[in-house]
Amino acid sequence: MKNRMFSVLFIMILAISSGSLGEQPQTTHGCPCNVIEQALGDLQRIKPGMTRQDLERHNFSIAGGLSSREQTNYIYKNCRYIQLEATFEPDSSVKNDFSPKDVITQLSKLTLGYPVTD
């Protein structure tokens, strides 16, 4: 029991002295974390009440696969594995087509997945 407790204590002291506990991981240029941070930042700037055009200005583009005017899947332009689902109130002046003036009513959280292609 004493040997086990000594081993655990020794490992903790070693970890603290090397600075690995409580330290934030460092990000470097080209790290995938940078792209995720960018995507989260872009998503924070988009709110319900904004338009489809606003969403697409913030680096999101319509994903492949099935989408409708009311519910559309998007991918992040800087990383196609980062995805978002948006729900819209269609622009009443446009019939049977996507409109840049469709109003966002709901946004999902960002998800990761393989992109759907047409």
Inter-residue contact 65 to 53 (CB < 8 Å): no
Q: Which residues pair with 51 in a beta bridge?
A: 103
What pLDDT score was predicted for residue 5?
Answer: 45
Centre a 10 Å sphere on the Cβ of residue 37 and count the other Cβ atoms it contains.
Answer: 12
Its pTM stands at 0.71
Digitized pLDDT (tens) for each residue of the chain, 118 residues in all: 555 544 444 444 444 444 444 444 444 456 778 999 999 999 999 999 999 999 999 999 999 888 899 999 999 999 999 999 999 999 999 988 999 999 999 999 999 999 887 6
Domain ranges of the chain: 48-118
Beta bridge partners, 83, equal 75, 111
Instruction: Report helix, strand and coil shares of the chain as percent, to nearest 5.
Output: 30, 25, 45
